[in-house]
Amino acid sequence: MEQIGLLGCGLLGSAMAERLRSAGFQVLGYDSHPSRCMGARSPAQVATECRRIVLCLPHSGIVQGVLSEIGPKLSAGSILIDATTGSPESCASLAARYRYVDATIGGSSRLVRERKAIVIAGGEKALFEDCRDLFETFAERVFHVGPAGYGARMKLAVNLVLGLNRAALAEGLAFAEAYGLDPALTLEVFQAGPSYSAAMRAKGRKMLDRNYAPEARLAQHHKDVRLILDAGKACGAKLPLSTLHDRLLSEASQMGLADQDNSAIIEWFRSR
């Protein structure tokens, strides 16, 4: 089977690699942390030995830096599949220079491993279709939402709602605990009623158990909220809830929670 390149083998990248291998693909992966590398000695090796290359990096600045390094090594047929939640403007500029799809992932590393994530992609439709077989190894549903950069735009809209759902759940559970209600029973009632959400299914038990082993780090979501606020400023959208959310995440990071799972936001409420 084809060898797929992977640049960035952290939580999400390693989960994608597992799914790709289970579908019969080989994976040649490089990460700046040597212990995470999957057979590659450098990004250049990935660029020269793989036609389709997945980038799963912390932010667009790193993506730009990596591509400036490997760009001369890419073949004419190379396709870059950028799973980074980054700047839509950066995605559009990269698509002008490379065969590039911004294929953002809706879902944590756990959901990727369970093939319950979604792919939200922007870029040329033909390139998107050329990558569909890879997306379907780890995604339950796959969406093409427009030209390059629109995958990133849609992901920011998704993450806005998801993050606020998670914060509302954290506030509700912390309120119930302070109010003398049984936390486990409270979560059961929440899940049975109209307040139920996917965030509750994924994060409710982690909040109760204070199990913050990261599936998606709080710091990564904080980066997304800052991108959301920048985008809102640029387009004139009013984002008062996200503005407050940014402050909560900043203070949670100052509490030492940045590298914990994003469900650790509940500790901000508990600390108050």
The DSSP annotation for 13-59 comes to HHHHHHHHHHTT-EEEEE-SSGGG-BB-SSHHHHHHH-SEEEE--SS
Domain 3-147 fold is Rossmann fold (3.40.50)
From CA 1, how far away is CA 95, in angstroms rounded?
27
pTM of the entire structure? 0.92
For the chain, the distance separating the N- and C-terminal CA atoms, rounded to the nearest angstrom, is 54
Tokens of 188: 């059961």
From CA 56, how far away is CA 164, in angstroms rounded?
24
Segments of the chain assigned to CATH 1.10.1040.10? 153-271
Q: Are 245 and 167 in contact (CB under 8 A)?
A: yes
DSSP 8-state symbol, 2:
P
Segments of the chain assigned to CATH 3.40.50.720? 3-147
**At a CB cut-off of 8 Å and minimum separation 6, what does 139 contact?**
105, 112, 115, 117, 118, 119
Torsion-angle region of residue 24: left (phi > 0), alpha (psi -120 to 50) or beta? left
Per residue of the chain (272 residues), give pLDDT as tens: 899 999 999 999 999 999 999 999 999 999 999 999 999 999 999 999 999 999 999 999 999 999 999 999 999 999 999 999 999 999 999 999 999 999 999 999 999 999 999 999 999 999 999 999 999 999 999 999 999 999 999 999 999 999 999 999 999 999 999 999 999 999 999 999 999 999 999 999 999 999 999 999 999 999 999 999 999 999 999 999 999 999 999 999 999 999 999 999 999 999 98
From CA 229, how far away is CA 240, in angstroms rounded?
10
Q: Which CATH architecture has domain 153-271?
A: Orthogonal Bundle (1.10)
From CA 179, how far away is CA 13, in angstroms rounded?
41
> What Rg value do the Cα atoms of the chain yield, rounded?
19
